[in-house]
Each structure stands twice: as structure tokens, then as C-alpha cells.
Amino acid sequence: MVRCGRRLKEEGRVPRIEVEDTGTFDVEEGKRLVLAIEEEAGVDILHRCGSYARCTTCRIEYLEGEPEKMTKAEHDVLEKRNLLGQVRLSCQALCDHDIKVRVLLTVTSTGLDGPGPHPEPHITPDPEWVDKPA
């Protein structure tokens, strides 16, 4: 898989994420996107399954910079729920290039009692990378 973050690192830059209606933030290369949205951007994004690609509550829409790869776990759960091609899961993405995203489900917007168990720093389950369907 081609990692755009290497180019940024060679240029002395770090990945930047822009979260719609929130702002733009520098993030550590390789950080899990769900954690960057929660920690750097301060958005109360849902991750009710603990970010194991089971519940789809961490869904986002890429407005710019959507990766061409996805984990098999993300592909399978989105396909099962008829969401493939409509949304992506922030728990299954790493910050390795500049992106702009729209967060679709938050604690505030849903009225739930919290986001869910704290995500691990690495993608869970262990990622098997596949091409994003056209």
C-alpha cells in the first residue's frame, strides 16, 4: 500500500485532518483516525463497539483525501449493513495524509450516554487491507 504520509514526513510535515465545522488539526502520523477526531479535534464521535469494526457508529464521510484502501473488516461490515460506498469507518483508518472529513454520529447528536469503550491505539481487528470498491 502506498502511504502518502511518507511524502509528508520527507517534507517535514505531519498529516492534517480537517473536521467539518470544527477546524484543522496536525496529527501524529499513523494515529488512528477515530482517536484523532476525538482527541485532537475534540469531537464526541461515537465508537460504541470499542472500534472493532462491528457497530458502524464511528462512521464518517470523506470530503477530501479518501483512501483507496480499506480494511477487510470495514468492507465486510459496511457491505452487510448496505452502507458500502456511502460511509467509511474512522476506527479503520490511519492518519497518513491530509484529509477532510464529516463526522456523522456523535454523543451530542444521538443523545446516547457516551461514545463507547476507549479505542486501542492500533487498528482492531488486525488489518487486512483491500481495495476500496469503485
Domains of the chain, first to last: 4-109 (3.10.20.30)
Q: What is the pLDDT of residues 84-104, one digit of tens each?
A: 999 999 999 999 999 999 999
Q: What is the DSSP letter of 10?
A: H
Residue 64, CB half-sphere, CA atoms under 13 Å: how many? 10
Q: Can you give the pTM of this predicted structure?
A: 0.92
Q: What digits encode the pLDDT tens for the residues 102-116? A: 999 999 999 999 999
Q: Distance between alpha carbon 4 and the CA centroid of its chain, in Å?
A: 16
Task: Please give the single-letter amino acid code of residue 9.
Answer: K
Closest by CA to 90, choosing from 114, 67, 113, is 67
For residue range 2-51, list pLDDT tens digits in order: 344 445 666 678 999 999 999 999 999 999 999 999 999 999 999 999 99
In degrees rounded to 5, what are phi and psi of residue 57?
Answer: -80, -15
Dump pLDDT digits (tens) for 62-81.
999 999 999 999 999 999 99
